[in-house]
Chains A and B, each alone.
Chain A
């Protein structure tokens, strides 16, 4: 527990068997009569950083919720390490939302020791005495690293947006998830702070060798951070019944950090936007 995060490299023997970290087969997702996603198949290797872009209402967040098991697909299967995905959220998948990610009734430090309290705190999920002191020691370095050591006794609403999201990311990584899901985590932040956040995130990704899925509105951010970019869009349109068809992945771009310096224009990626 003395290290900040588990930085051990993934088991290389597993990589050789080429089981993808996440595999989606023929996913279709309906909300009532409203089709959100359709014909979605995807295979993502461990250690990928997938950025997900697309117009509003194109099922990006739904896609994340499926990976989180917050929703169950209407059709199709999702495999994690070759096994069916657990039917409810579990610690092997961490999540950072744009809002409501941290607990407003807990201080910064309490937000961070919560995971170990859940682990060993029993029925009430609370640690006392020495074990609580140990847990606080264990997160001291994390606090330092995300620059919140001085603010550890403050409540989240007393923090800036950037500080809140740093806390949210640190909290999401406490259980050392192999998959980290980010739903527009920097959408509400100022551009300057975003750059800092990008550095933090990339550093953690390399350090912990996670697989990351990140939804963003910002295409340049998607290019900058990702190793692979997934573009969600509706390919079929029924003008009389706009809800009849769902979105799917229209572009699946491997990103090479060395060659892709310039982000493409949105019009090149979103066919449906052009038609309108």
Chain B
């Protein structure tokens, strides 16, 4: 029997190696679990347990600096939340921040992917350089753009002033009407590579002879783009845009670094509002309640996507 140990049968996962001893079969069946155990234990203890704990906080009064807090208060936080004008503003800001960032990132990313899809001299270097912003740490991207918008060291206000777009060279980050554009522009700069990289990969998977055949049939570049490129890209576009929407709506780094939600909460999004409640006010209960609402909204959004996908699939 010992001859079987480590034999080729072990590879089968232990379902039809019935002649092998029980211990051997047990070892084989548990192998995949042993391989994934370290990762799983870590995910469960550091992500799943805190997630569940966080959900329970939403119904408790937990303030870090108040030793008498900790009791269950039912839906109290949600009642406060429904009256919280700052939350509603943060929610509207989130829609604006996510919508503007994702659509601009997508459009400019798609154009960049199309430009890079054509062979030209020095393409490899150009590609590495235009994708570089993706590697810049988000806190540094935020600081860097905050400095560019700062009239003391940054050129942007002076250029905008010289072009007559601004009445005087001021910092748009301190202008309540315009402040949100600061983080959005930084986010677009930072996020274009993500769309360009994924879309470029999808573009390069399109069979080239399709384009040749279409040209022979007399299709112009616009017609080729609409009839070949877009349909081929559609699944990639749908998936990246939908996933990116969720990711960007939760992405608070740039806002926290550049404006910290100000001026007058004009750039506060829900994610940065949660962080501010937890980090500045140390009100973990209320922060968790907002987080739970955000989670609910994201689940609704994901469900809508699933339903939409089903509907599109059934239509064909």
Partners in one complex: no
